[in-house]
Amino acid sequence: MEPKVITLTVNGRKHQVALPPNITLLRALREYLHYTDVKNGCEKGDCGACTVILNGKAVNSCLVLAWQADGGEILTVSGLGTTSNPHPIQEAFADTGAAQCGFCTPGMVLAAKALLDENPHPTEEEIREAISGNLCRCTGYGPIVEAIQIAAERLAEGGQK
C-alpha cells in the first residue's frame, strides 16, 4: 500500500499527486485534486454521475484505479466551459431545462460530448443509447435528449468547439 506519485492532466492542467493504490480516479479527482464537479453517485458503475472523459473516452471514474490513469488526460465538466463562457452543450442543457437537481448533469454533459465528438449528427435513438449509462431521476430524459439535439445543431452551425 505504498503511495506513488502519478501525473494526471485535468482540463489541461498537469497535477502530480501521491496516491495509495486503492484510490479510484473518482476519489483522486474529488478528494485529492478537488474537482468536485465530478459527482460520486453509486460507486459501482451503474449511475454515470462520475463520468469523465479519459484519453478521449467517456468512462466511469469510480471504476478506474487512479494509477491506471497515470499520464492520462482527463476532461471534467468544468473543463468544458464556465458559467460566463459555456460550451454549446452546457448552454443547450440550460435552455431546455435539462438539469433539475443537477446531480447527473456533469456526467450527462460529458456523455453527450463523447457522443457528439464521434457522431456530430446523432438520431434520437443514438442519443438515448449514448446516455444509457447516465441515470437521471428528475427530468424523464426528454429535455436532456432535446438539449443534445439542439447542441448538435448549434455545433454544426459553427458554434465553437
For position 129 contacting other proteins by CB under 8 A, the verdict is: yes
If phi > 0 it is left, if psi is from -120 to 50 it is alpha, else beta; for residue 141 that is left
Nearer to other proteins (CB atom), residue 60 or residue 96: 60
Q: How far apart are CA 87 and CA 92, in angstroms?
A: 9
Q: Does 32 bind other proteins (CB under 8 A)?
A: no
Q: Which of residues 36-65 bind other proteins (CB under 8 A)?
A: 43-45, 48, 51, 57-60, 62-65
Torsion of CA 104, 70, 7, 82, to 10 degrees: -20
Find residue 36's DSSP bridge partners: none
Contact 17, 32 (CB under 8 A): yes
Phi, psi dihedral angles at 71 (to 5 degrees): 85, 0
Query: Judged by CB, which is closer to other proteins: 17, or 65?
Result: 65
Which of 111, 145, 148, 152 contacts other proteins by CB under 8 A? 111
Footprint (CB under 8 A) of other proteins, residues 62-101: 62-65, 67-68
Span of 17-25, 77-85, 97-105, 149-157 interacting with other proteins by CB under 8 A: 17-25
Q: Phi, psi (5° rounding) for residue 124?
A: -60, -40
Options 7, 13, 18, 22; binder of other proteins; rule CB under 8 A: 22
Residues 6+ apart with CB under 8 A from 146: 96, 98
Chain positions contacting other proteins, by CB under 8 A? 1-2, 20-24, 43-45, 48, 51, 57-60, 62-65, 67-68, 111, 114-115, 128-130, 132-134
